[in-house]
Amino acid sequence: MFQTFTATTNPEQGPPRLAALREAMDHAGFDAFIVPRADAHQGEYVPPSDERLAWLTGFTGSAGFAAITQDIAGVFIDGRYRLQVRAQVAEAFTPVHWPETKLGPWLLEHMDDGAIVGFDPWLHSSEEIVTLRKAVGAALELRATSNLVDEVWNDRPAPPNAPARRQEIEFAGEKSGDKRVRMAAILKEAGQSAAVLTLPDSICWLLNIRGRDIPRNPVVLAFAILQADARVQLFAEPSKFEALGPDPNIDIAPMTDFAAALTKLEGPVRVDRKTAPIAVSQILESACIDIAWGDDPCILPKACKNDAEIAGAREAHLRDAAAMVEFLAWFDREAPKGGLTEIDAATALEGFRAGTNTLQDISFETISGAGPNGAIVHYRVTEETNRAIKEGELYLVDSGGQYLDGTTDITRTLVVGTPTDEQIECFTRVLQGMIAISTARFPRSVAGRDIDALARASLWRAGLDYDHGTGHGVGSFLSVHEGPQRISRIADVPFKEGMILSNEPGYYREGAFGIRIENLIVVQKAARLGDDRDHLDFETLTFVPIDHRLIATDMLAPWERDWINSYHAKVRDKVSGRVKGEALAWLEEATKPI
Amino acid sequence: MFQTFTATTNPEQGPPRLAALREAMDHAGFDAFIVPRADAHQGEYVPPSDERLAWLTGFTGSAGFAAITQDIAGVFIDGRYRLQVRAQVAEAFTPVHWPETKLGPWLLEHMDDGAIVGFDPWLHSSEEIVTLRKAVGAALELRATSNLVDEVWNDRPAPPNAPARRQEIEFAGEKSGDKRVRMAAILKEAGQSAAVLTLPDSICWLLNIRGRDIPRNPVVLAFAILQADARVQLFAEPSKFEALGPDPNIDIAPMTDFAAALTKLEGPVRVDRKTAPIAVSQILESACIDIAWGDDPCILPKACKNDAEIAGAREAHLRDAAAMVEFLAWFDREAPKGGLTEIDAATALEGFRAGTNTLQDISFETISGAGPNGAIVHYRVTEETNRAIKEGELYLVDSGGQYLDGTTDITRTLVVGTPTDEQIECFTRVLQGMIAISTARFPRSVAGRDIDALARASLWRAGLDYDHGTGHGVGSFLSVHEGPQRISRIADVPFKEGMILSNEPGYYREGAFGIRIENLIVVQKAARLGDDRDHLDFETLTFVPIDHRLIATDMLAPWERDWINSYHAKVRDKVSGRVKGEALAWLEEATKPI
């Protein structure tokens, strides 16, 4: 099992560690110290050696940070974690509602003029520190330091050191050397001599490698410098990279050599202000090397999957769909008997995925929420919150797998027994949004922001909505959340062929039920139609039945109903050869026309 | 009749005038001179005394400009006017496709280094000239000058001098003094001593006056300075303002005093770089007065209509609806007989509007297009293009009225005889877009860009689209096109209660037919519904039947069909008391449920 359901922290651990940190702060001459959740690579998951926030405070959410002074220890968390933080941290910590309260004003409120605030420059991006400096002005001094938490973290785990493995060309679709030449051309075109790469998925994509350094996200933690002549310097334990084999264009050196290598560059060097640690730009500035601020050059090319990656995604999704169908058939058989819990379901689902014998990892912690727990958007079931799935309740399951040929992410909402009219109406409105995105076709310059409303219009008309984006980018056997593509009110990057996205509208009634329906989709050039304008549309990758017991057929437009029936026919066609027995019988029933 | 259909220019007029202008340029030491269509107030309509572009070139479109050198005379026009310009200008002029070809690069291509380009600083905004300066760099000198066209325009008409009249409080809904205090507070809040107002609709709104200086747009042409103490200096012929009556807080002076008054201000003075002539900022800069660049402070408050303005709009729209119903009944009676022309229809429609005895003007030149002419988005019928409306063709009519209580703008597309399946499908898709906007409900921060796709989704799904925005702002007995509100891919201003907009998706098949359906709508706080989120929605103002012979009922969602039937029931309910006889009988038939 990849996923466990036991708590990894407890509130009692915090106060003595907080006291030790405050002593270290005092000793080093700092009045405050910032403890982010991030590591130097700004990813969603961090290795145990970088779980400083959880170690110090007990809070295990996937986003947040702490600001520690001698008098107050603020734990900044967003709306998702308001309840969780109360259960996880001791009274010595003060939860702060972020982003309503921002760090700068909070520091100004709690500190005297002239106080010194320490931060680890490897754990904060340039943009983050620049924003904070603007907010505190001359009143406080922000000073970079070695990490004070690490000084007092005696039993800190060693950094991960899993071997890298090659992402075969069959799945990657483009040779690493060709990618490097392509990225180098971008740098040359911009008049830049090199780019600093600090995002593990950029580096893994560029070098066609994958790793096991952190859970859920099959990357190697490393830094890299891409030169405008297409050579790469890679910084991480050299022993990790035996699988790469020797390449005269790739120099591998320990991570400890990274800083020194930066000082030897000639400018202008491209640095991404949103993702690179501010330590990088500080080192370059100290060495008087010109910085060219710009996006990590790999981000956009990585987002636009090539034919091999799309073919891999199709196959990974069908394999995953077969596991989902087995799970759904099992669920429909077991749930009505009563007694099934959220953990039982999550465990069974992981078992079906593992049964494909190709599962490398799950792609994120499964969200398995029954009844009111389904309304908690980022719910993670633990032994403490585990709930039986009851008759008449909705059950929401959001999960995915990492396969060599692709990353999946799917949500289905199921009913046990007979749904209420209200559940049916809300489900149908969510489904209408999901169909609107699935069938969307649009001119080439359209971005996520321009179509987000299509997913919400049916809910909006009924005075309903959901407080999250409609879709996020998804990597190719990489991060299940990747940019720059997304579908949301703040998504300004135009869609391009090959971008994989989720399509996941939802509706959440607090204390009652949660609904979300999610397929992955990939942007493609639309077929010739109508006036043959240069349009893009989405190919659906996910083929798993949608619970037809929750659909109000009489609310649908004829074309929406056609879409459901056509979708289910394709599901049956594509997946029936991959399941047997009861699962096959269930599939045939679940995909009948409505 | 307000509208005429005869050509006001002819191609032969151009060459001798061009020769005279070139002589004046040579004499004054200019190698080129720019002739915009705009006057000093940057409106859509200009008085005859400012029709320099039409006088010089013969081109009468509502947008465009000319750039004249000794060797070439470029007439820059956008896609709407490619055909029209060829018919209107002599060979001495070269049509230039704008914005594909921009003025700066064109000047660089056609002029030697160091050449001097003249422009009238009262006819170009600061933004326009700054952009042009960036484009030409140091290669060309841009030099302000008195207007060289005026020097050679011997029979130039006198500037308009129509008397202003009061916009009564019954319609304006807020006393001018209260508006001035409200706007002055905005200036004070921003630390500004005054704002320069150059937009006639801002000035008319602020002072609760209207005028007759230009066609279609009931404004007074004037400049004004609003002081942070709420006093106003108004610049135009004082005799125009007798209707205003004396007000100790308003000083009226001739327009010739405006420049001198600017030099007496103390900064910072707010100037709108997008709309104020660059002469204004040049005068302030010469007098060393600080400029605070910022939007004309009246624009947003003017856009958000108060209760009296909305009540007026409702009444104006019902009066206008009755005239439209009489027209539509007449059309359905006459058109099938054959021989009816586009001009006949436009003339009849204006007659029905005039028959309300409350019509102050039409709100723009009526678009009356039969068959293929309907596919020309900004078609204006003339004696030359006038076309008979034939059996089996679609007829598109986009028109509006100026009434004391409101401005209307409505488009209906009608069929004579039996429509084809293709016409019906396209019409239904346009209607679905129009219904999607009519029924849209959304969170408060949503802007036009966020919902534009709702109007296009049904067309997009069929590979179709339309190449114009979905909606523009509309004034209150003011300009039929006003900002900042609009519905389009580039509309970033969030909707606010009271904004009036058009909702006008369309579809145009070149050489065959055009379809557009347009209602006006007003933003309101949405009724409590669902989760009672803070939502806005639209109240529909226009109540005129939509041609049900063109609707494919089986393409509609149940809620779309409900909307049509509910809309038509309201049309019948609201308008049947305002029409009689054949028109009433027609109305009852036209509003039957589908």
Q: Please report the pLDDT score of residue B454 as a whole number.
A: 98
- Strand locations in B128-178, DSSP E? 141-144, 165-166
For residue B441, list chain A residues with Cβ-Cβ distance below 8 A.
460-461, 463
For residue B436, list chain A residues with Cβ-Cβ distance below 8 A.
457
Nearest to B557 among A528, A535, A556 (CB): A556
Nearest to B529 among A463, A530, A535 (CB): A463
Separation of alpha carbons B509 and A527, rounded Å: 20
Hey, are the CB atoms on B535 and A463 less than 8 Å from each other?
yes
The residues, any chain, with a CB within 8 Å of residue A296's CB and separated by 6 or more, are A195, A197, A198, A199, A202, A272, A275, A276
Most A CBs within 10 Å, among B450, B461, B551, to test the A interface: B461
Residue corresponding to tokens 């151009």: B14
Hey, are the CB atoms on B463 and A556 less than 8 Å from each other?
no
Q: Please report the pLDDT score of residue B267 as a whole number.
A: 83
What percentage of chain A carries pLDDT values higher than 90? Answer: 94
Q: Please report the pLDDT score of residue A359 as a whole number.
A: 98
Hey, are the CB atoms on A457 and B454 less than 8 Å from each other?
yes
Closest CA to B230 of B296, B264, B184, B265: B184
Hey, are the CB atoms on B446 and A453 less than 8 Å from each other?
yes
For residue B457, list chain A residues with Cβ-Cβ distance below 8 A.
436, 440, 454
Q: Please report the pLDDT score of residue B504 as a whole number.
A: 98
Q: Mapping DSSP to helix (H, G, I), strand (E, B) and coil, where does residue A528 land?
A: coil
Separation of alpha carbons B466 and B478, rounded Å: 27
The pLDDT of A554-576, averaged and rounded, is 98
Most A CBs within 10 Å, among B460, B495, B532, B551, to test the A interface: B460
CB A65 within 8 A of CB A72: no
Distance from CA of A461 to the nearest CA of B (A): 5
Q: What digits encode the pLDDT tens for the residues A482-532?
A: 999 999 999 999 999 999 999 999 999 999 999 999 999 999 999 999 999
Distance from CA of A454 to the nearest CA of B (A): 6
Q: Mapping DSSP to helix (H, G, I), strand (E, B) and coil, where does residue B459 land?
A: helix
Q: Please report the pLDDT score of residue B492 as a whole number.
A: 95
Q: Which helix (H) or strand (E) holds A443?
A: strand A441-443
The pLDDT of B238-267, averaged and rounded, is 91
Return the DSSP state at B388. B
Question: Is residue B243's pLDDT more than 80?
Answer: no
Distance from CA of A322 to the nearest CA of B (A): 30
| Residue B65 φ/ψ, nearest 5 degrees | -165, 165
The domains of chain A, with CATH numbers, are 11-152 (3.40.350.10), 165-302 (3.40.350.10), 305-586 (3.90.230.10)
Q: Band of the pLDDT at B67, cuts 50, 70, 90?
A: very high
String of b and e for A245-254 (b: at least 16 CB within 10 Å)?
eebeebbbbe
The pLDDT of A285-292, averaged and rounded, is 97
Q: Band of the pLDDT at A241, cuts 50, 70, 90?
A: confident
Q: Please report the pLDDT score of residue A456 as a whole number.
A: 98
A585-588 own/partner pairs: CB under 8 Å, 24+ apart: A585/A329, A586/A325, A586/A328, A586/A329, A586/A332, A586/A333, A587/A325, A587/A329, A587/A545
What token pair was written down for A589? 């029933």
Q: Please report the pLDDT score of residue A476 as a whole number.
A: 98
Separation of alpha carbons B124 and B102, rounded Å: 15
Hey, are the CB atoms on A465 and B440 less than 8 Å from each other?
no
Q: Please report the pLDDT score of residue B19 as a whole number.
A: 97
The pLDDT of B195-214, averaged and rounded, is 97
Q: What digits encode the pLDDT tens for the residues B431-443?
A: 999 999 999 999 9
The pLDDT of A166-193, averaged and rounded, is 97
What percentage of chain B carries pLDDT values higher than 70? Answer: 100
Separation of alpha carbons B77 and B18, rounded Å: 18
Q: Cα torsion for B407, B382, B161, B54, to the nearest 10°? A: 120
Most B CBs within 10 Å, among A425, A441, A464, A528, to test the B interface: A441
Distance from CA of B319 to the nearest CA of A (A): 30
Q: Cα torsion for B234, B235, B237, B241, to the nearest 10°? A: -10
The full DSSP string for A64-78 is -EEEEESS-EEEEE-
**Chain A contact residues (CB < 8 Å to B):** 436, 439-443, 445-446, 449-454, 456-457, 459-465, 489, 509, 526, 528-533, 535, 554-560
Q: What digits encode the pLDDT tens for the residues A393-444?
A: 999 999 999 999 999 999 999 999 999 999 999 999 999 999 999 999 999 9
Q: Please report the pLDDT score of residue A44 as a whole number.
A: 86
Question: Is residue B511's pLDDT more than 90?
Answer: yes
- Interhelix angle B307-334/B342-354, rounded to 10 degrees, is 140
Hey, are the CB atoms on A464 and B556 less than 8 Å from each other?
no
Q: What digits encode the pLDDT tens for the residues A310-346?
A: 999 999 999 999 999 999 999 999 999 999 999 999 9
| Residue A261 φ/ψ, nearest 5 degrees | -65, -35
For residue B459, list chain A residues with Cβ-Cβ distance below 8 A.
530
Q: Please report the pLDDT score of residue B169 as a whole number.
A: 97
Mean pLDDT of chain B: 96
Strand partners, B415: B394
For residue A441, list chain B residues with Cβ-Cβ distance below 8 A.
460-461, 463
Question: Is residue B444's pLDDT more than 80?
Answer: yes
- Look up the ipTM and state it: 0.93
- Is residue B467 classed exposed, middle or buried when 0-12, 13-18 and 19+ CB atoms within 10 A define those classes? exposed
Hey, are the CB atoms on A436 and B450 less than 8 Å from each other?
no
Distance from CA of B580 to the nearest CA of A (A): 37
Lowest mean pLDDT among A516-520, A571-575, B96-100: B96-100
Side-chain-facing half-sphere of B494: CA atoms under 13 Å: 10
**Chain B contact residues (CB < 8 Å to A):** 436, 439-443, 445-446, 449-454, 456-457, 459-465, 489, 509, 526, 528-533, 535, 554-560
Q: Please report the pLDDT score of residue B1 as a whole number.
A: 83
Question: Is residue A170's pLDDT more than 80?
Answer: yes
Q: Please report the pLDDT score of residue B246 as a whole number.
A: 85
For residue A445, list chain B residues with Cβ-Cβ distance below 8 A.
489
Return the DSSP state at A158. P
Most B CBs within 10 Å, among A460, A490, A509, A555, to test the B interface: A460
For residue A490, list chain B residues with Cβ-Cβ distance below 8 A.
none
The pLDDT of B482-486, averaged and rounded, is 96
Nearest to B441 among A441, A461, A556 (CB): A461
Q: Please report the pLDDT score of residue B7 as a whole number.
A: 82
Lowest mean pLDDT among A31-45, A464-478, B232-246, B476-490: B232-246
Q: What digits encode the pLDDT tens for the residues B298-329?
A: 999 999 999 999 999 999 999 999 999 999 99
Hey, are the CB atoms on A530 and B450 less than 8 Å from each other?
no
Closest CA to B469 of B447, B497, B442, B441: B447
Nearest residue of A to residue B560, measured between CA atoms = A557
* Count of positions (residues) in chain B: 594
Q: Please report the pLDDT score of residue B44 as a whole number.
A: 86
* Count of positions (residues) in chain A: 594
Question: Is residue A244's pLDDT more than 80?
Answer: no
Residue corresponding to tokens 């943009």: A127
Q: Please report the pLDDT score of residue A82 as a whole number.
A: 84
Hey, are the CB atoms on A533 and B454 less than 8 Å from each other?
no
Question: Is residue A384's pLDDT more than 90?
Answer: no
Hey, are the CB atoms on A560 and B557 less than 8 Å from each other?
yes
Distance from CA of A559 to the nearest CA of B (A): 7
Tell me the pairing of strands A116-119 and A141-144.
Answer: parallel
For residue B556, list chain A residues with Cβ-Cβ distance below 8 A.
557-558
Separation of alpha carbons B452 and B422, rounded Å: 24
Hey, are the CB atoms on B528 and A556 less than 8 Å from each other?
no
Closest CA to A61 of A44, A74, A47: A44
Q: What digits encode the pLDDT tens for the residues B136-189?
A: 999 999 999 999 999 999 999 999 999 999 999 999 999 999 999 999 999 999
Return the DSSP state at A335. G
- Interhelix angle B558-575/B307-334, rounded to 10 degrees, is 90
Question: Is residue A80's pLDDT more than 90?
Answer: no
Most B CBs within 10 Å, among A461, A467, A534, A562, to test the B interface: A461
Nearest to B529 among A445, A462, A532 (CB): A462
Return the DSSP state at A578. G
Q: Please report the pLDDT score of residue B165 as a whole number.
A: 94
Question: Is residue B458's pLDDT more than 90?
Answer: yes
Q: Please report the pLDDT score of residue B335 as a whole number.
A: 97
Hey, are the CB atoms on A449 and B446 less than 8 Å from each other?
no
Nearest residue of B to residue A489, measured between CA atoms = B450
Separation of alpha carbons A182 and B372, rounded Å: 49
Hey, are the CB atoms on B526 and A463 less than 8 Å from each other?
yes
Distance from CA of A440 to the nearest CA of B (A): 6
Separation of alpha carbons B246 and A461, rounded Å: 51
What token pair was written down for A8? 């990894």
Q: In what order do the strands lie in the sheet with B223-227?
A: B250-253, B232-235, B223-227, B194-197, B269-271, B291-293
Q: Band of the pLDDT at B205, cuts 50, 70, 90?
A: very high
Return the DSSP state at B249. T
Q: Band of the pLDDT at A377, cuts 50, 70, 90?
A: confident
